[in-house]
């Protein structure tokens, strides 16, 4: 665990940068974290992030996101290049998923 | 944080030569896991592994109920080989296994290939094996980019941080 100031808020994050307390999350924080990953968030990103935050406790998988009706798997990869599930969950301020699929 | 000095794996080239549920899924999970992590993945299906990309068989893979010492019945008792030899038992056990995987959100083979290729993974079929089994391009999944030789596959398997994996 480390302390990190994101968008003017002091946050506790895990060693790989995931928020410890997901209730501290704001859209502003999401934008800052995304910028570190070289992603500029748009409305589509936020739609996906909303789905991810709402389903944070359900054992998220890429397949589930693909069936969400919000985005298909190809679109998910396009929105968050280089690891959509781990990146989107980090930006959404939830726990790092432990899924293998 | 300690500085990591290992070279990261950036690319996996996988060869799947067997057609049981467990062999095929080992390949698919690893290939999908690679694209999920932002790595490049290329998969070469050969010999019985071709079943995994043959439209007719891909979603009907079996596991061996004969000669498989790790096969157990629900509850943990070992599965008698003679029982496994009874017609229909292998199909039943295999269907049960596929059902268990579905519960864990592990998709059927065709959908798994959709996922891998959506993430940029590439699927190839072995020319020698395709000829041997008298298959045609149209018998294979639409996700198969090409039917190539192992030499062609090695030629695209190189680069820093790349690994060749045989399952």
Residue-by-residue DSSP string for B31-77: HHHHHHTT-EEEEEE-GGGGGGGBTTTTT-----SSS-TT-B-TTS-
In a domain, A96, yes or no: no
Let me know if B22 is exposed, middle or buried by CB neighbors in 10 A (0-12, 13-18, 19+): middle
Predicted confidence (pLDDT) at residue B5 exceeds the cutoff of 90: no
pLDDT above 80 (res B3): no
- pTM metric for this prediction: 0.92
Domain containing residue A82: 2-91
- Output the pLDDT for position B115: 97
Residue A99 counted as domain residue: no
Confidence of residue B1 (pLDDT cuts 50, 70, 90): low
pLDDT over threshold 80, residue B28: yes
Helices and strands (DSSP H and E) totals, chain B:
6, 5
Asked whether the beta carbons of residue B107 and residue A100 sit closer than 8 angstroms, the reply is no
- pLDDT at site B4: 66
Tokens 């049981």, residue located: B20
Query: What ipTM score was computed for the predicted complex, to two decimals?
Result: 0.90
Give the up-direction half-sphere exposure of residue A11: CA atoms within 13 A in the CB hemisphere. Answer: 26
pLDDT in tens, B90-147: 999 999 999 999 988 899 999 999 999 999 999 999 999 999 999 999 999 999 999 9
Decide if A37 is inside a domain.
Answer: yes
The beta-carbon neighbor of B107 closest among A63, A85, A86 is A63
Asked if the structure places residue A34 within a domain, the reply is yes
Q: Is residue A29 part of a domain?
A: yes
Q: Do B29 and A83 touch (CB under 8 A)?
A: no
- How many inter-chain contacts (A to B, CB under 8 Å) are there? 46
Query: Which distant-in-sequence residues (6+ apart) come within 8 Å of B70 by Cβ?
Result: none
**Total domain count for chain A?**
1
Q: What is the pLDDT of residues A87-98, one digit of tens each?
A: 999 999 999 998
B37 touches chain A (CB under 8 A): yes
Does residue A35 fall inside a structural domain? yes
By the CB < 8 Å criterion, does B17 face chain A?
Answer: no
Q: Which of residues 95-114 of B touch A (CB under 8 A)?
A: 104-107, 111, 114
**Nearest CB neighbour to B120, from listed A66, A72, A77:** A77
pLDDT digits (tens, 9 = 90+) for A20-56: 999 999 999 999 999 999 999 999 999 999 999 999 9
| CA proximity to B116, closest of B10, B48, B41 | B41
Residue A62 lies in a domain: yes
Chain B closest CA to A22's CA: distance in Å?
23
- Using CA atoms of A50, A55, A60, A66 in order, give the dihedral in degrees to the nearest 10: -60
The token pair at B47 is 């010999």
CATH number of B21-152: 3.40.1260.10
What are B29-79's pLDDT values in tens digits? 999 999 999 999 999 999 999 999 999 999 999 999 998 999 998 899 989
């Amino acid at each position: 665990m480390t302390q990190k100031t994101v968008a003017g808020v002091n946050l506790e994050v895990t060693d790989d940068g995931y928020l410890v307390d997901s209730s501290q999350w704001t859209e502003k924080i999401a934008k800052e974290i995304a910028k570190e990953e070289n992603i500029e968030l748009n409305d589509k990103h936020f739609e996906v992030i909303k789905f991810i935050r709402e389903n944070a406790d359900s054992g998220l998988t890429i397949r589930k996101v693909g069936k969400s009706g919000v985005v298909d798997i190809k679109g998910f990869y396009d929105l968050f290049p280089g690891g959509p599930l781990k990146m989107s969950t980090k930006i959404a301020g939830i726990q790092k998923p432990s899924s293998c699929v | 944080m300690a500085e990591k000095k290992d070279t990261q794996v950036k690319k996996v080239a996988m060869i799947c030569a067997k057609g049981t549920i467990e062999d095929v899924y080992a390949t698919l999970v690893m290939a999908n896991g690679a694209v999920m992590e932002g790595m490049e993945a290329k998969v070469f299906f050969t010999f019985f592994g071709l079943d995994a990309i043959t439209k007719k068989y891909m979603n009907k893979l079996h596991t061996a109920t004969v000669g498989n010492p790790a096969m157990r019945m629900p509850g943990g008792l070992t599965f008698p080989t003679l029982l496994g030899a009874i017609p229909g038992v292998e199909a039943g056990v295999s269907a049960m296994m596929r059902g268990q995987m579905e519960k864990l959100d592990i998709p059927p083979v065709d959908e798994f290939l959709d996922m891998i290729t959506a993430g940029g993974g590439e699927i190839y079929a072995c020319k020698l094996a395709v000829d041997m089994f008298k298959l045609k391009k149209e018998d294979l999944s639409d996700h198969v980019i090409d039917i190539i030789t192992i030499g062609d596959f090695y030629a695209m398997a190189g680069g820093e941080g790349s690994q060749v994996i045989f399952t």
